[in-house]
Amino acid sequence: MKAQCASLWLLGTTLVLCSVHTPALRRCPLFVDMHHLEESFQEIKRAVQTKDTLQIITTLSTVEILRSIKPTDVCCVTKNLLEFYMDRVFKDHQELKPQILRKISSIANSFLYMQKTLRQCVHRRCHYSEEATHATRTVHDNYDLLEIPSAAIKSLGELDVFLAWIDRNRREADPV
C-alpha cells in the first residue's frame, strides 16, 4: 500500500510539474546518454552511408526542416521522429552484418527509452504548429518517395542529423 501510494504520489507530482511548467514541458528534457548514441552511430556511419547511393535526396536534411521547429514544438516533433525511426526505419532496414546490427539495436533501445521519458510529459495528441506539422510531413513524404531499402538506409545514414538536433535542443533546455 505504501509503495502504491508512493508511486501515485510521484506520478501526480510529475504531472503537476509538467502541467504547471509548460515551457519546461515544451523543452522536453531528455535524460539520455547522447554521447553513447553518437559513438554507436559513428561505428556504423561509414557502413551505412556508403550504401546510400541517393546522395542528393534526404529525408531529414531538407532545407531548414528541423531548424524551423519552434521550442514549443520540440517535444512533440521529437516524439514524432522517435516514432518514425522506431516504427519504420529500424523495421525496414535489413542488415546482414552482425556488428552493424548490434549497433543499430543499441540505438533503437536508446530511442525506446527516450520515447518512454517523453510520454510522461507529452499529451497523447500534440498540438502541432504549422511549422511542426509541415516538418514531420516532409520527413514522411521523402521517406515514401524512395524505395524502402534505400529509404531505410538513407534514414539510418541521417541519424547523426537527428541526434545533433536532439542534443542541441537538450542543451538549450538545460545549459550545463
User: What is the binding site for another protein (CB under 8 A)?
Assistant: 34-35, 38-39, 42, 45-46, 49-50, 53, 55-56, 58, 61-63, 157-158, 160-161, 164, 167, 171
Q: Which stretches within the chain are classed as H helix?
A: 2-20, 22-27, 34-50, 71-84, 90-92, 98-119, 130-145, 148-157, 159-173
The C-alpha angle 171, 102, 98, rounded to 5 degrees, equals 150
- Shortest distance (Å) from residue 18 CB to another protein: 26
Nearest one of 140, 28, 19, 115 to 73, comparing CA atoms? 28
Closer residue to another protein (CB): 70 or 171:
171
- Shortest distance (Å) from residue 17 CB to another protein: 26
Q: How far apart are CA 80 and CA 134, in angstroms?
A: 12
Residue partners of 21: CB distance under 8 A and separation at least 6: none
- Shortest distance (Å) from residue 62 CB to another protein: 6
Closer residue to another protein (CB): 72 or 138:
138
Closer residue to another protein (CB): 19 or 42:
42
3-state secondary structure at position 147: coil
- Shortest distance (Å) from residue 58 CB to another protein: 4
Enter the DSSP assignment of 85: I
Closer residue to another protein (CB): 18 or 134:
134
Enter the DSSP assignment of 21: -
- Shortest distance (Å) from residue 81 CB to another protein: 15
Closer residue to another protein (CB): 43 or 92:
43
- Shortest distance (Å) from residue 56 CB to another protein: 6
Answer for the pair 168, 68: CB distance below 8 angstroms, yes or no: no
Closer residue to another protein (CB): 49 or 106:
49
